[in-house]
Structure formats: C-alpha cells, structure tokens
Amino acid sequence: MQQSRRQFVRTLFVATQAVALGSLLTPRNLFAADAKAGSLNFLLLGDWGRNGEKDQMAVATQMGIAAQDMDAKFIISVGDNFYEDGVATVDDPQWQSSFEKVYTAPSLQVPWWVVLGNHDYHGNCDAQIDYSKTSKRWNMPARYFTRTEKISHHHSVDFFYLDTTPMSKLDSDETEFHDKVKSQDIPKQVAWLESALAASTAPWKIVIAHHPVYTGGQHGDTPYIIKHILPLMEKYGVQAYFNGHDHDLQHLAAGKVNFFCSGGGSKPRVPIKTTEHTKFGLGTSGFIAAALSPDKLDVRLIDDQGKLLYTTSVPRVAS
C-alpha cells in the first residue's frame, strides 16, 4: 500500500510539473532566445503516419514553429512512419497523405533521417529505403546505418540508427510478419553496432531506434535490447538513446545512459506508469526538440499544442 501511494504521488508530481511548465513556455518564446551559436539543433518524431489526421496535423504545426525558431538542421524519425501497414511501393499514396502534404512548413524541408518501426514491417520496408532515391528530404540508406554530424569546427556526434523490429518480434505468431523478421540477421546487426561503436572517436554517441530499452508505456521493456544492446551502449559511452513505439513522451535513465521516447507523432495512449528508471512520462501527442553543444545535450519534450512539458540536460561525461 505504501509503495502504491508513493507511485501515485510521483505520478501526480510529474503531471503537475508538466502542466506548470506547459502554461509558461511555448516553442516560439523558448527557442527564439535559446538557439545558441555552436549547437546542433534537431527534432525527433515517431509513430506519426496517419494520413493527416487531427493529432498528426497538430504536431506537425508545432514542429514547424519549433524548427524555425531553433533553426533545426534535420529531423529524425524513430519509426512507425505509416499506419497501419507501412507502404507498398515508392508510389504509395501515403507518401503524399501522411508525409509530403503534412510536414509542409518551410522549416521542415530539411533532411529527415529515418528508421523502421514494426508497422513499417507490415508493408514493404525496401520501398522506404528506395524512396530516399527520389525524395529531397527522406533519408534511409539501409535498415541500419551510421551518420556523423558536426556540432562545431572541432566537435562531432556519431548517430547509430538501428532496425529493432527483428529484436522485438522474435516470437511473433503472425506468419507474414514472422517471415519478414526471421529474414533479418540480428547477430550480424549487433556485431555491426559493436564494431561501429568501437571505431567511433566522436565525443558524442547517440543511438536511434524504434523500440524502447526501458519504458513506462504500453508495450513494456524490450528484453533482447536490454541483454544485447544496452551493454554495448554502456561499454562504449553512449550518452542517449531515442526511440518511439510507445505513443507518449518519456525520459528514463539507467546507469550513464539516458532514454527518451518520442512516440507522440499522432495518436497518444494514456495512461503510462512510472518505473524505477522514470524521470518523466506523459501520454500525449508531441515531439522532442534537441540542442547538442560540445558539453551537453539539451532535450525538450513538447506537446501538440506547443507547450513545453519537460526539459533536461545530458552532460557529455556523466558525473
């Protein structure tokens, strides 16, 4: 009973904190003064492709405002790009109805770096890779890949983009889905990640994926990732892991790794629960805005009305 009461109080505090912050700040009066020279600014969005439904459009509008005021250099999609069953081809109508005609703000016409989610696996994953060849902003060079971005003249960050659906669906009983997952060589991807992390000399290392490590959301933790990916992140000094899958906004931490869920791109799920790793969590539509400087990563969780729900800073070297 005592533990349940503590959990209730903690949840109430998080919700109260969210309302208090949200009533004071919006992206427009936050980022205009805060997009400092020498930082790499970008947005993160997940679980979004619903043919321009109300929640998706609201998030897209606020993303456009934030991206303009912080001068976002690129956008990262953490998967589930098209509901319910991905896309069939590079000419699928959803490219227009869920992407091109939704994220229309001039500030969003920057590179989008994209990973696959489980709903994307219901369709043609290769079509999402191939769309990179015809789109001016859509970038998915492979199912998993790395990219280096410059923070300043002397500082950089290495991003490691993963394909986690095969890691989360090992026991899927959906025949077609099962075959698509089993066709992927998971140990090969894990070995690739370790090799890439070991070779990285960048002071910042950030992992991008669809599925969570830890979460207070509906889907729960991902055991395979906890067992095989988390130890690599700890070993090679990854500071942050961004994911979607749960339709909410969260910040969790374990050891020296911070976990951020940006799965509020269209249809939120409530409620979510707090866990031993939870720093913040709220079931709402929204996105994440990040500003990376040589010494810290500033992360802001923003809802579909433009309210700042939560902000935190991740140091380059954990104390």
**Catalytic center residues:** 219
Measured in whole angstroms, the distance separating CA 61 from the mean position of its chain's CA atoms is 18
Distance CA(218)–CA(244), nearest Å, equals 12
Q: What is the distance between the alpha carbons of residues 264 and 48, in angstroms, rounded to a whole number?
A: 7
CA–CA dist 47, 108 (Å, integer): 17
> Which structure tokens are listed for 253?
């931490």
Q: In the sheet where 112-114 sits, what is the strand order?
A: 138-139, 112-114, 74-77, 40-45, 286-292, 296-303, 308-315
**Taking CA 15 as the corner, what is the angle to CA 20 and CA 219, rounded to the nearest 5 degrees?**
140
**Separation of alpha carbons 246 and 62, rounded Å:** 20
Yes or no: say if 82 and 114 are a contact pair by the CB < 8 Å rule. Answer: no
Beta bridge partners of 145: 161
Q: Which residues contact 161 (CB under 8 A, 6 or more apart)?
A: 113, 115, 144, 145, 146, 147, 208, 209
For the record, the structure tokens of 91 come out as: 């000419």
Contact by Cβ (8 Å): 43, 66: yes
What beta strand segments (E) does the chain contain? 40-45, 74-77, 112-114, 138-139, 145-150, 156-161, 204-208, 240-243, 249-254, 257-262, 278-282, 286-292, 296-303, 308-315
Q: Which residue, among 279, 212, 200, 275, has the nearest Cα to 247 in the 3D structure?
A: 212
The CA distance from 152 to 245, in Å, is 32
